[in-house]
Structure 1
């Protein structure tokens, strides 16, 4: 598989309420200084899990502390009540949901960003230093292509393939796209340990979280035959097991939280969870 940039697509992420960036110096408004910023996230949420893995890989516990939130938000609109003061301090008369993830500025008591991709990149680029290079020189286009592949070819395709209200033809087409994507990844990973380089990059974080979602959430919406075809990619799932044993990956995997979040958001037959799990994530995850 050659990872090449794909056409732009409309993301299913809601528009971020705040999208500040951490820059290099004071002129940017938010410059990189250890101890100034704080993360607020739930690892039961895919975006929160991506950020937590990145944070763990870079060893940023002392540089940017993290406040972990419950898997299921406690506000009816999907927000967290504990985040409400931050939102209200950051936007006059803010009326939207106080959702996670959030990167906040402890100096001002306000929010810097609620946009997960920006948060991940800023953690890696502004605080990564000599640690693991999650965005190696020249790899940005490949990483962005993997992000789009995971969004379109795995997450969105799996959602459409398991949609109870979808037409059979549309569900079959979506399943075909999902299997084609997994097949391309299988061929890629049959000959290498990581997706685009010889060490872990942001592309591996993106793909691993997509595979976790596929097996712990999306499979509940698919029949046994489809799940068996998804499972029939040995190199891909061996890769998922291998990364699950890494403390930064498996150590942040909250399986109970993912289940509670799924059942809080999805009801009826689609939430029944009749399909057989592909991986025993708990057995492979780092303690």
Structure 2
């Protein structure tokens, strides 16, 4: 998949911990079933990505998951349940104890808080005999999709709905968002998946970006903008089809996403909040 590179605009704080799972005992954090544990909430985008990858790989018995409340219970946006892990991992740690976290049950310390590294390590070291979510030779395509989702969808949607931006900046954000969606619409025409003939991590990235677009960013767009976003039938049919897949739909916590959004959002709600693009709950078969 060919995607024009976009200037990097960070949308999240830099991860505090970026350890990696290695291949053997000499690497320190080597791959052993049930050594590692995930701490996450699928109500946040990174947590949802990891949960779906974990589900696609069938790792319930290999890497247990501790689910956290969708809304952090600390004033700094952290989770009190994660504070002991952070304090054990960094002397006199004073930052927020944020999720997601991959921890090492052997040492009681954090391996990584970097979502992209976590999913790659789960797939690379525990994915033998399972779906190839990061297929060999598709690295640049996967990274292009990640950039487009982060910048062309998430960041652009934030700009388009920013209450503090002027009209020209919001319009530029909307046009960038629509350009990205249009490119994906054309690319998916006649294709079941993004970069291969089977599900990959690129599909997880795009599905999560579309979930966030409809359940979070839409609330700050006007109705006309949402109608234009919705005017990509192939793209939204793709999202609907993936939602019906158990590894995707079972992790979609719509109530948790709404609670998290309302707890953290300081923007103004716009008319687009009333124009839902997909009835996500209907396609998961679970109540909203």
Q: Could you state the TM-score of these two structures normalised by the residue count of structure 2? A: 0.96
Residue matched to 1:224: 223
Q: CA deviation at 1:274?
A: 3.2
**Equivalent residue, structure 2, for 1:46:** 45
Deviation at 1:150, TM superposition (A): 0.5
Distance 1:239 1:186, change over 3 A: same
Distance 1:143 1:6 in 2: 13
1:120 Cα deviation after fit: 0.6
Moved more, 263-272 or 193-202: 263-272
**Pairing of 1:100-111 with structure 2 (within 5 A):** 100-111=99-110
Classify the secondary structure of the residue corresponding to 1:137. Answer: coil
Instruction: Please give the TM-score of this superposition, normalised by the length of structure 1.
Output: 0.97
- SS of the equivalent of 2:22 reads coil
Q: By how many angstroms is 1:196 displaced?
A: 0.8
Contact 2:133/2:199 (CA < 8 Å) preserved in 1?
A: yes
CA deviation after TM superposition for structure 1 residue 8, in Å: 5.6
Alignment of 1:59-138 (within 5 A): 59-138=58-137
What secondary structure does 1:175 align onto?
Answer: helix
What's the secondary structure of 2:39's corresponding residue? Answer: strand
Aligned to 1:111, the other structure's residue is in SS state strand
> 1:130: Cα distance to partner?
1.1
Q: Which residue of 2 aligns with 1:177?
A: 176
For 2:258 and 2:102, locate their aligned partners in 1 and report how far apart those are by CA, in whole Å.
Answer: 25
**Segments ≥4 residues shifted beyond 4 Å:** none
Matches within 5 A, 1:229-248: 229-248=228-247
Q: Describe the SS at the equivalent of 1:104.
A: strand
Alignment-derived partner of residue 213 in structure 2: 214
The separation in 1 between residues aligned to 2:5 and 2:267, in whole angstroms, is 35
Mapped partners of 2:167, 2:112: distance in 1? 40
Consecutive unaligned residues in structure 1, runs of 5 or more: none
Shift of 1:56: 0.1
User: What's the RMSD between the two structures over aligned residues?
Assistant: 1.3
1:117-137 deviation digits (Å, cap 9, x = unpaired): 100100010100010000111
Q: Do the aligned partners of residues 206 and 228 (structure 1) sit closer, same or farther apart at CA in structure 2, a change above 3 Å counting?
A: same
In 1, the alpha carbon distance for the partners of 2:268 and 2:82 equals 33
Decide whether aligned partners of structure 1 residues 193 and 29 sit closer, same or farther in structure 2, where only a CA change above 3 A counts: same
User: CA contact under 8 A between 2:153 and 2:213: conserved in structure 1?
Assistant: yes
Deviation at 1:188, TM superposition (A): 1.0
Distance 1:211 1:58 in 2: 22
Contact kept? 2:222, 2:271, Cα under 8 Å? no
The answer as to whether partners of 1:164 and 1:270 remain within 8 angstroms in 2 is no
Pair 140,252 (structure 1): closer, same or farther in 2 beyond 3 Å: same
Q: Is 1:256 the counterpart of 2:255 in the alignment?
A: yes
In the alignment, structure 2 segments of 5+ residues that lack a partner are: none
TM-superposed deviation, 1:5: 6.5
1:33 — aligned with what? 32
CA shift, 1:236, in A, is 0.3
